[in-house]
Chains A and B, each alone.
Chain A
Amino acid sequence: MEVIKFNKKIYSLEAVKKAIEEFKSLAEFKIKDLDKYIEVEIDKIDNEYKGILKDEFSNYVLGLMS
């Protein structure tokens, strides 16, 4: 399982949710709303994307913030 912590002051919850919607066919995502971070747990990642999904997902969220 992979975990990403998005800083709430930099990344919006809306962008994270939208990215999950786009990536949901490749893995299972869970969001936890922490004090300063939005924690995203990524599980059951498609074998083809195991090494890169976490980073690609982070990039996608950042792209939505621009």
Chain B
Amino acid sequence: MKFDKGFNYKLRGKALEFTINTKIYSLKAIYQAAYLFLDKVYVFLDGDPEKEIKVIMKLKRPSFANASSSVPQSETSEDKSAGLEQIAGEFYNELLNQLLREKVSESNAKIREYIVSAALYNAVPNEVDRLLQEVEEEDWQEDPLGIAKTWEDKQNKEGLKKK
């Protein structure tokens, strides 16, 4: 087992193994970090999510690894293990990143819910809006019974008829 500034790992043949304390990093953060590395390495998880998760990583063969991978796909076993160590280090960095995202998401949860609910409330027309629209759409200006006409208007018309 190597010890490198708090990062413990074992090299077993082509695979690199290390454990993650789930009291620090949640299983969700581990899933999300692992997801980002699936194109570079084979990742297998085992262990107890309530204590610690064992991560087993294997380099993909050059032809199957993503061409955009930052790690050079070398042939020697030393280079391969160095590549794995580098990826494992990046994995730990990504874990921290995911952990931070989780914390920010938790702390912003209420304000996010408020914004979404306010947006949804404004998007759905309420009862008052519906009634106002009905009134606006009503054809009240036609006045088929002549209620809106003044007495003078009515009298003038009647006078003209008599004449």
| Residues on A facing B (Cβ under 8 Å) | 7, 9-11, 51-52, 55-56, 58-59, 62-63, 65-66
Contact = CB atoms under 8 A, between A and B. Distances in A.
A63 B34 CA distance: 8
Given A56-B42, A62-B45, 8 more contacts: A7-B47, A9-B48, A10-B47, A11-B45, A51-B61, A52-B60, A52-B64, A58-B43
15 contacts: A7-B45, A7-B46, A9-B48, A10-B45, A52-B60, A52-B61, A58-B42, A58-B43, A62-B35, A62-B43, A62-B45, A63-B35, A63-B38, A66-B34, A66-B35
Contacts of B43: 58-59, 62
B52 to A, nearest CB: 12
Nearest to A37: B46
Contact of B31 (A9, A51, A58, A62): A62
Interface in B63-85: 64
Contacts of B47: 7, 10
Nearest to A65: B31
Q: How extensive is the interface on chain B, given as a class?
A: 10 to 19
Contacts of A63: 35, 38
Given A9-B48, A55-B58, A62 B38 contact: yes
Contacts of B38: 59, 62-63
Interface in B15-59: 27, 31-32, 34-35, 38, 42-49, 53, 58
Contacts of B44: 55, 58, 62
Contacts of A65: 31
A44 B61 CA distance: 22
Contacts of B32: 66
Interface in B99-145: none
